[in-house]
Structure 1
Amino acid sequence: MSKTGKTQKNGASWSGGSMRLRTKILLGFGTLLVLMILSAGWSYLGLSSILGLSDKVVEADNLRTDLAQREIDHLNWASTLSRYVFNDDSDKLDLQLDPRQCAFGRWYYGEGRKKAEALFPSIKPLLASIEAPHAALHETASSIRDTYQPADPQLSERAQELELGHIEWASEVQSALITQARQLDVQLDHTQCALGKFLYGPQRAAFHTAHPDIDAVFTSIEDPHQRLHESAASMQRPLLIGDFDSAKQIFNDDTLPSLAKVRAGLDQVQSMAGAQVAGTRAARDIYNNATLPELRKVQKDLSEMAEIVNSDSKQYQTKLVADGQTTQGVQVGVTIVSVLVAAVLALGITASILKQLGGEPADLKLLAQRLGRGDLSQALKLKSGDSSSLAAGMASMVEELKTIVGEVRSGADSLSSASSQVSSTAQSLSQGATEQAASVEETSAGIEQLNASVGQNSDNARRTDEMARTAAEEARQGGDAVNRTVAAMKDIASKIGMIEEIAYKTNLLALNAAIEAARAGQHGKGFTVVAAEVRKLAESSGETAREINDLAGSSVQIAEDAGKLLEATVPKIVQTAELIGEIASASREQAGGVRQINEAMSQLDQATQQNAAASEELAATSEELSAQAQQLQESMSFFTLSKNA
């Protein structure tokens, strides 16, 4: 104990005079950890700034790309509208007319615009100013769609030529009539003139699809055109025979009216063609004077927004490069400082560790290995004045272990002797407890048999009590049934008396009827026979009723006697049931007492069994203690206290 106290005193003095190794290590690694945290924090802030700027640069590039794409979309949109207006073969306008549903409109009125304004506030005025020209741009397309009419620019001239051709045709016919020519030198087949070839030729089918309203006008002049040529054909014969008056009559009645209708139709075609040309020109004027200016405004705003976004993106990129360089410089500086601090700490901690170990780690390792093999005879060489190092502590520990091992060996020998004595005593106690437990078990078995017999008697008494009570109840019910039977028989006897009286009255009536029939003479003979038969039946019924009445009277008497016997029997049965109930109650009390005795014997048996088990367990424990004492002696033999041992 003196050596241990000395070691603790030296350790306390060392702690008070210098810094502990643990404190030095914690301080060194804490310094490195602080430098690493500062480096990581600066890196995190720098990377967060870089990532934020990178996101803004990416968003700027995406927005610039989207704005350029929206500008291209509107150029394509205007190109499609231009083809519709300026190409005569375009008959359908397939464009998005709603400014909110085009690609730019969905972006402008959706979350895209809000996000862009949040990232680039400088484009808010341009985004506000582009709404009106963009809506007006789409509105021009709606106006063009409503104004534009597909037109054939040559149709009006062509209709005019066809009209002039038929005027000349009619003029030639009129000249022939004036000159009294014998034959007309004009086209008589209405399908072979210029108008007829158009009306019935392949051009008409294509024209029907492109201009259905004008085609309807051409259809309306087919019939007058045919009559016009047929009127000329009908003049041929009158001219041939010199009947010029008839020919003039045909000209005035048929030719001129048909010509007027044909000319009216062709004039209408010219008017409709002119209107179509005017609609086309108006649509082209809208495109040139409204669509293109609004498109240029939209392009201008989109281009300016793209330039602003591009300028902001360049600023973000410049700041991104600057932040990256700053972060890199700080990281390099922190790394250099960390390396220098780590080198200084490594040298200081190494010197401190060697001082606190008190020797080379290899010598301490060899001593620890010998201690592991139980060799306590090895002495460790210490430096002069060393009392607080690990080596000094291990030397002190070896001395303490020698003392403790000697004491443990002595205690193990004493423990082995005592455990042998305890084992012998425990075996004797276990044998006695086992014999006592066997006797208690036999007594308990006899009491259990007695308990079973008493319980069976109690059950039999209980069932007999139940049967007696049931018999009493049934006897009471039988008495009630007999009383009801007596009442019913009396009722039957009264009813039979009534039947007997009815038979008597019937007999008197039959007798009176026979007397009346005899008075009637020959006419009542048949009725006399019937009255005699009725009288016989009445007498027979009366006799039978008297017999039944006598039987009912005797039955009533018997039933009343049976009821009296049952009434006398019921109290005796009830008294018997009460006595049996008292026997059953006594049997239950007896069974309860036997059960308590049985429980007490069971508890005694359990206590005896526990004593026997405890004795056996004590014997086993003492044997195990003896074995452990021997094992402890063997374990202590592992240690070598001196080189001579």
Structure 2
Amino acid sequence: MNIGDIKISKKLSLAFGVVTFVLAIVSIWSIWGIGGIVVDAKEMTNGNKLRGDLQEKYIQHLEWTEQLKKFLTDSDVKELTVQTDDHQCAFGKWYYGQGRINAEKIAPELKQFFDKFEEPHKALHNSAKKIESVFVRADRQISEELLKAKVAHLTWAQKLNTAILNHERTINIQKDPTQCDFGKWISSEDFKAFTAKNPDLNTIIHDLMLEHENLHQSAIHIENLLRNGNASAASRYFETNTIKFEESTLSKLDNLIVANNANLEGMLKADNIFQNETMVDLSKLKILFSDVINKSKEVIITDDVMVSKASTTKGAIIILSIIAFFTAILFAYIITQRIVGPL
């Protein structure tokens, strides 16, 4: 049957049908393309959030490490406040909670990367526990001051003995226990801080101060004996009392030196743990965070990829629309000619 034999109403229906069909194709493609963009946008949003969360968790561990370092180096930091439980830090809660589950739903390929986090992350937090167990704040200057006091009082006792041997009526040594260098130092803020940080040494310190006072006061008694011409009594007092006070004072100074050196050793151990464990585990985490973030860019759509896909969809819709437009015009023209031709 020739198209010219078809009624005009059917010809018009055919024309509109063709145009509608072409427009339907464009609409379906547009809906499919926009739907894909929406899906990609959701994936991109989730991916960006995941990468942002992971980056934030790494930064939090950098800050955690800084706080741990301050505990070791800043005398104003009195106690360790960083989280030592690897399940309770922000990343730990995310890692052992819904955060990781959601991340692996978005990108199952990341699971093998997340599995590698557990050991170094646990070791990092455990290093803080180790540091706390061995660290006792100490000051090398304390040991130096105590050693200096020991040498000074050995010299002091020798001068006193020489004065006795020479029958000197005036002994040119410091007899006031608060005015010798050590006496002044034990009244200083440094020594008060030392005693506050080492309450277990209070008994030794108390006894030291008593023996130190007795030692200096013995010089006053000896000087009085010498002024009265009683050199032999002065010598006996020196042998019987002064030497005893001296030995006791020096012994307690030694005890304090040993205690402070032990604290210094604890500081060295803590610093060694920080350098060889904390920083090593932090470096491992840095690599793992970097790897998982980079992998997420491969398996989860990024902004650039989405823009590229959206541009492709837009271009395809424009091309289809142009094709549809000209196709509709072409069919309309052909049908119109067929309709008008026989008239």
Shift of 1:232: 1.4
Within-5 A mapping of 1:486-525: none
Superposed CA offset, 1:243-301 (max 9, x none): 12322332234322222221222111101101100000000111111111111111111
The match for 1:234 is: 221
Shift of 1:135: 0.7
Q: Does 1:65 align with 2:52?
A: yes
Q: Does 1:311 align with 2:298?
A: yes
Within-5 A mapping of 1:520-599: none
The match for 1:185 is: 172
CA distance in 1, matches of 2:187, 2:299: 70
TM-score after normalising by structure 1: 0.48
Q: CA-atom RMSD, angstroms?
A: 3.1
The equivalent position to 2:258 in structure 1, one of 254, 268, 271, is 271
The equivalent position to 1:127 in structure 2, one of 95, 114, 117, is 114
Q: Does 1:302 align with 2:293?
A: no
Superposed CA offset, 1:164-215 (max 9, x none): 2112212222222233333322211111111211223444434344444445
2:122 corresponds to which letter in structure 1? A
2:22 corresponds to which letter in structure 1? L
Contact 2:225 2:234 in 1 (8 A): yes
CA distance in 2, matches of 1:183, 1:236: 7
The match for 1:543 is: none
CA distance in 2, matches of 1:161, 1:333: 93
CA distance in 2, matches of 1:201, 1:295: 40
Change (3 A) 1:217 1:26: farther
Contact 2:142 2:260 in 1 (8 A): yes
The match for 2:100 is: 113
Indicate the structure whose relative CO is greater, using CA pairs within 8 Å and at least 6 residues apart.
2
The equivalent position to 1:256 in structure 2, one of 203, 218, 243, is 243
CA distance in 2, matches of 1:201, 1:348: 109
The match for 1:341 is: 328
CA distance in 1, matches of 2:245, 2:262: 26
The equivalent position to 2:21 in structure 1, one of 23, 27, 34, is 34
Contact 2:109 2:299 in 1 (8 A): no
Contact 2:143 2:261 in 1 (8 A): yes
Shift of 1:44: 1.4
Between Structure 1 and Structure 2, whose CA radius of gyration is higher?
1
TM-score after normalising by structure 2: 0.85
Unmatched segments (≥5 aa) in structure 2: none
SS at match of 1:180: coil
CA distance in 1, matches of 2:285, 2:188: 49
The match for 1:547 is: none
CA distance in 2, matches of 1:202, 1:62: 52
Shift of 1:163: 1.4
SS at match of 1:165: helix
SS at match of 2:82: coil
Contact 1:123 1:305 in 2 (8 A): yes
Shift of 1:320: 6.0
Within-5 A mapping of 1:312-461: 312=299, 317-318=304-305, 321-322=308-309, 324-326=311-313, 328-338=315-325, 340-341=327-328, 344-345=331-332
SS at match of 1:62: helix
Q: Does 1:156 align with 2:148?
A: no
The equivalent position to 1:244 in structure 2, one of 227, 231, 238, is 231
The equivalent position to 1:290 in structure 2, one of 277, 285, 294, is 277
Q: Does 1:76 align with 2:73?
A: no
2:214 corresponds to which letter in structure 1? R
Contact 1:190 1:196 in 2 (8 A): yes
The match for 2:126 is: 139
Within-5 A mapping of 1:147-226: 147-214=134-201, 217-226=204-213
The match for 1:465 is: none
Shift of 1:85: 2.0
CA distance in 2, matches of 1:106, 1:26: 65
Change (3 A) 1:320 1:48: farther
Q: Does 1:49 align with 2:36?
A: yes
Contact 1:50 1:324 in 2 (8 A): no
1:257 corresponds to which letter in structure 2? K
Unmatched segments (≥5 aa) in structure 1: 1-16, 356-645
CA distance in 1, matches of 2:91, 2:190: 44
CA distance in 1, matches of 2:80, 2:66: 12
